[in-house]
Structure 1
Amino acid sequence: MRVGLLGAGRIGAWHARFLGGHPLVGDLLIGDADRRRAEALAGPLGARADTPDAVLAANLDAVVIATPTSTHAELLTRACDAGVPAFCEKPVAPDLRTTLEVRDRAAKTGVPVHIGFQRRFDAGYAAARRAVLDGRLGELHRVHLVTADPAPPPAEYVRTSGGIFRDCHIHDFDILRWVTGREVESVTAVGANRGDAYFAAAGDVDTSAAVMVLDDGTIATLQGSRYNGAGYDVRMELSGTAGTWVVGLDERAALRSAEPGVDWPPGDAWTDFWERFEPAYASEIGTFLEMAKGTVASPCTVDEALEAFLVAEAATLSLHEGRRVALAELR
C-alpha cells in the first residue's frame, strides 16, 4: 500500500516508525509544513518527504493525519473528497460545528475514517469491556476514571488545546462509552489552578474533576491533573454487584500504599502516555491499515468521536458556568 503521513511532529514520528516497518506498507510518504522536519523523519525510514499537498495528491491508498488539531478538519475533508481512507488523531475538529460538518462530509462520501482513540486497543481496557458486556461484574453501579500527567504541556500548547476536558479527558469520555456500552446523559465538572499561571490565562485548569450520570443510572467520576508527581497515571475502576475490575493497576502504576509492610507496586511508574500505550498505538495503526485495505470496519468512526466530543463540550460548559449540563442541551 502507498500510505501518506501528514505531520512530522512527536506523534507523527511515532506513527512513522510503525508505518515504516509494517508489512502492508510498501511506500511511505511523509508531509509536513516544515519540509526539513519531514525529510529528517523520512530519511532513516527509507520514506519520501514532501509537502502535505503533494502527499495528498500522490494517489494514496491510505493517509494518517497527525498534524495540529486546527488542521484536522480540512485535511480529513480533503482525504474523504479524494476517496482516501483516513486515520485522524483526536479530535476531529476544535469545535462542535466543524465536527458536525466533517461528520456529514464523511458520511456523504462513504470513505472509511478511523479516529485515533488508542485506549480502545489496550489489552486492559479490552478485557474490562468483555467483563462488563458478558456480565462478570454483575450490574454495573460505579465507574471511576483517572488521567494524570507527571508534568504539564508547554504554554503554547495549552493556548490552542481547547482545555483539559477537550484535549485530555476526551480519551476518558470515549473509553467510558466503549467499555460500558452506555451513553453519558449529564456532566457536572469543576476545576482548579494550582500550578503555572498560563493555564488560567488560557481559560483552562490544571486540576479537574467531574461527575457523570449514564443513561442507565450508573454514576461515573473522573479526576485529572497536569502535575502528578508520582508519574503518568491512567486508570479505570469498574464496580458492579458481582465484582470490581481496575484497568491500569499493574506493577508500574503511579501509586504507593500507605499500609505498613506493603511495597506493591514494585516497579518504576510510567513516565508518559507513549511509554504506557505503545503496544496500543501499534495495534491501532495496524487495524487502520486493515480498514484501509477493506478487511475490517472502522473501529472508531467520526460519529463515535462526536459522542466523546459532546461529553467534553458539556464538561467544559459545566466548568465555566458552574452547573450540571445535560447532553441533550448540546444535541
Structure 2
Amino acid sequence: MRIGFLGAGRIGAFHAEALLATPGVDELVIGDVDRGRAAALAGRTGATAAESVDAVFAAGVDAVVIATATASHAALITRAARAGLPAYCEKPVATDLAGTVTALREVERAGTLLQMGFQRRFDAGYLAAREALRTGRLGRLHTVRAVTSDPAPPPPAFLPLSGGLIRDCLVHDFDAVRWLTGREVVEAFATGTNGGAAFFREAGDVDTAAALLTLDDGTLVTATATRYNGAGYDVRMELSGERDQFVVGLDDRTPFTSAEPGGPPAPERPWTGFLERFAPAYRAELAAFVRAARGEAPNPCSGEEALHALLVAEACELSRAEHRPVRPAELVERIAGPA
C-alpha cells in the first residue's frame, strides 16, 4: 500500500516512522509546504519525498495521512475525498464548526473513509476502563474526573492556530468520555483563568480551564486542563461507579507527589509529553487506519465523532464567554443548513 503523507513536523515525523513499521505499508510519499523538511524526513526514514503537496496527490497513492497544521485540515480532507482516497487526519477536522460540517459533507458525498486522530481510544488504560464499564464491573457510573495537563506552555505563535486550550486539549477528554460511556453531553459549564504569560490573554485564550458536563443519563463529568503543570505531562481519567472505581493514567510515571506519609514517592522519570505518553496508542491508531483503508476493518473514529467532541468544546467556550450553562444542542441549531 502506498500512502501519501502530508506534513513533516514533529508529530508528522513520529507518524511517518510508525507507518513505515506497519504491516501492509509498502511506501510513504511525503509532502510538506517546506520542501526541505519533507526531504529531510524522507531521508531519515527511507520514504519518498515529493516536490509538493500537489505532487503527493498526483503520485497515485492509495490513501493519505494528514499531519499538517490545523488550518489546512479541512481543505486536505476535502481534496482527499474528491480524489476518492481514504484519509487519516489529526484532529480537528477544521478550525470551526461551519468548516467541520462543510468538510464532512464532502466526505459523505464522496463515500470515502475519514478516520480522525483521537489516540486515547487506542491506549491500553482507556481500553481497559471502557471494558470494565461496559461489562458492568463498575455498576452504575455516577462521576467521571478527567485531567489533561501540559508541563509547559506552547510557543506563543501556536495559540492562534490551536483553537485554544479547551478545543486543543480538553477535546480529547470530551471524545474519551463519549467513547467510554456511550453517552452524550447534554449540558456544559466551563470557566478559565490566566495567571501565567500574557500571550494567553492576548490570544483570547486561558492557561487553565475547568468544565462540568452533564451526560444524558445524569452522570457528572469534571474535566480540567492547564498549560502549567511543572511536575510533568499528566493525563488521567477516573470513572467512579456504585461497585468499583477505575483510574486511567495512574502508574509509576504519573507526575505527582503524595502528601501521605505512606504514599508513593514522586516518579523518577515523569511523563514529558504526549508523544512519549501515547506512543503505543499512536502506533495502534495508525495500524487501525491501514486496516480500515484496505477494507479489512471498520473505521474506529469517524469525522462525525470528531464533530461531536468539537460541539462539546464549542459549548464550553460559549459557556466560558457568557458565564452560563450551554447545551450543545444550541450549537447544532446554529450550524444546521441544507444538505
Q: Does the TM-score normalized on the shorter chain lie above 0.5?
A: yes
> 2:23 matched to 1:23?
yes
**How many angstroms apart in 2 are the aligned matches of 1:155 and 1:330?**
29
User: Residue 335 of structure 2 aligns with which residue?
Assistant: none
Structure 2 counterpart of 1:143: 144
Structure 1 runs (4+) greater than 6 angstroms displaced = none
Question: Aligned residues, how many?
Answer: 331
Deviations along 1:246-293, one digit per CA (max 9) or x if unpaired, are 000111111111011323464421010111000000000111000111
Deviations 1:161-191 (A, max 9, x none): 1111111111011001001111000110000
Structure 2 vs 1, CA of residues 87 and 108 (structure 1 numbering), >3 Å: closer, same or farther? Answer: same
The CA distance in 1 between the partners of 2:104 and 2:23, in whole Å, is 31
Would the aligned equivalents of 1:31 and 1:38 in 2 still touch at CA under 8 Å?
Answer: yes
| Contact 2:85–2:112 (Cα < 8 Å) also in 1 | yes
Distance in 2, matches of 1:22 and 1:187, equals 39
User: Does the CA contact (< 8 Å) of 1:251 and 1:264 recur in 2?
Assistant: no
Deviation of residue 192 (structure 1)?
0.3
Structure 1 counterpart of 2:208, one-letter code: T
Paired amino acid for 1:202: A
Amino acid at match of 2:283: A
Q: Provide the residue aligned with 1:313 in structure 2.
A: 314
Instruction: Tell me if structure 2 keeps the 8 A contact 1:138–1:243.
Output: yes
Identity of aligned residues (%): 57
8 Å CA contact 1:186–1:213 kept in 2: the answer is yes
1:21 deviates by: 2.3
Deviation at 1:47, TM superposition (A): 1.2
TM-aligned CA distance change 1:271 to 1:52, over 3 Å = same
Distance in 2, matches of 1:78 and 1:8, equals 19
CA distance in 1, matches of 2:226, 2:100: 27
Is 1:203 matched up with 2:204? yes
CA distance in 2, matches of 1:327, 1:28: 39
Match of 1:187 in 2: 188
198-207 or 57-66, which deviates more: 57-66
Structure 1 residue identity aligned to 2:207: D
Which residue does the alignment assign to 1:235? 236
Conservation of the 8 A alpha-carbon contact between 1:253 and 1:269: yes
How much has 1:62 moved relative to structure 2? 1.1
Distance 2:40 2:122 in 1: 29
Deviates more, 1:154-163 or 1:202-211: 154-163
Q: Residue in 2 aligned with 1:330? A: 331
Aligned to 2:278: 277
Alignment of 1:1-331 (within 5 A): 1-50=1-50, 51-264=52-265, 266-331=267-332
Letter of the aligned partner of 1:26 in structure 2? D
Once the two structures are superposed, residues 199-253 of structure 1 have per-residue CA deviations (whole angstroms, 9 ceiling, x without a partner) of 0000000011010000000000011110001110000000000011000011111
1:7 positional shift:
0.3
Q: Give TM-score, length-normalised by structure 2.
A: 0.96
SS of match in other structure, 1:84: coil
How far apart, CA to CA, are the structure 2 residues paired with 1:263 and 1:47?
45
* Distance of 2:103 and 2:240 partners within structure 1: 36
Change (3 A) 1:267 1:243: farther
| Letter aligned with residue 193 of structure 2 | A
1:67 is paired with a residue whose SS is coil
Distance 1:44 1:160, change over 3 A: closer
Aligned to 2:336: none
Q: 1:323 to 1:135 in 2, by over 3 A?
A: same
> CA separation in 2, counterparts of 1:186 and 1:238?
19
- How far off is 1:59 after superposition? 1.3
Displacement of 1:5: 0.6
Q: Distance in 1 between matches of 2:223 and 2:8?
A: 32
Q: Is the 8 A contact 2:187 2:213 kept in 1?
A: yes
Kindly indicate whether the alpha-carbon contact (under 8 Å) linking 1:250 and 1:265 is maintained by their aligned counterparts in 2.
no
Q: CA RMSD in A?
A: 0.9
TM-score, scaled to structure 1:
0.98
Q: Distance in 1 between matches of 2:262 and 2:291?
A: 49
Structure 2, gaps ≥5 residues long: 333-339
Q: 1:155 to 1:113 in 2, by over 3 A?
A: same
Tell me the secondary structure at the aligned position of residue 278 of structure 2: helix
Aligned partner of residue 168 in structure 1, secondary structure: helix
2:72 maps to a residue whose letter is T
SS in structure 1 at match of 2:211: strand
